Amino acid sequence: MNNSQLIEIALQAREKAYCPYSGFAVGAALLCGDGSVYTGCNIENSAFSPTNCAERTAFFKAVSEGKRDFVKIVVVGGNAEKSPENYCPPCGVCRQVMKEFCGADFEVIIAKTPDDYKSMTLAELLPASFDKREV
Ligand code: THU
């Protein structure tokens, strides 16, 4: 599974986004250590706060299926009527969820197309973070 293939999967997942309120569609593809891939999309709600981001959808699907070992995630997002025109960095809540299950070197790829992407580590995205070791 190379990065371009994982981005293609995230772009397909984005097509499932339920985003009637924002019109902003997000897709995610989460690669596990065993090679399996879990997808996610954002799922909005008329009460707004129950909305779930694409990244958390992917993580919660994977964890609920027993997965705990994660390698990287791709995130793609933008106006639902168009292909992604900008990179879509994960929100702070999703970064914290990643932190629960992933180490500093977990790779977060934000992409526009299968050939146009940036890669960052979770440590870069969430420095000095709260961690379960503190609890
Ligand atoms: N969204 C995500 O799915 N992931 C992010 O990291 C940023 C925001 C969703 C939430 C909401 O449905 C829409 O994008 C606009 O904020």
State residue 132's pLDDT score: 81
Of ligand 1's listed atoms, the one at least distance from the Cα of 89 is 6
Nearest CA to ligand 1 atom 10: 53
> What pLDDT is stored for residue 131 in this prediction?
85
Pick from 14, 49, 91 the residue to mutate for probing ligand 1's pocket: most ligand atoms within 8 Å of its CB: 91
What's the confidence (pLDDT) of residue 135?
A: 85
* pLDDT value for 60: 98
Q: Encode pLDDT of 103-134 as tens digits.
A: 999 999 999 999 999 999 999 999 999 988 78
Mutation test of ligand 1: which of 11, 49, 53 has the most ligand atoms closer than 8 Å to its C-beta? 53
pLDDT in tens, 31-79: 999 999 999 999 999 999 999 999 999 999 999 999 999 999 999 999 9
**Beta strands 70-79 and 24-32, pairing class:** antiparallel
> pLDDT band at residue 99, thresholds of 50, 70 and 90?
very high
- Nearest atom in ligand 1 to the alpha carbon of residue 51 is 12
Q: Is beta strand 107-113 parallel, antiparallel or unpaired with respect to 70-79? A: parallel
**Confidence tier at 94 by pLDDT (50, 70, 90):** very high
Residue whose CA is at the smallest distance from ligand 1 atom 14: 24
Residue for token pair 């909005």 = 44
Asked if residue 8 lies in contact with residue 33, where contact means CB atoms within 8 angstroms, the answer is: no
- For ligand 1, whether the C-beta of 41 sits within 6 Å is no
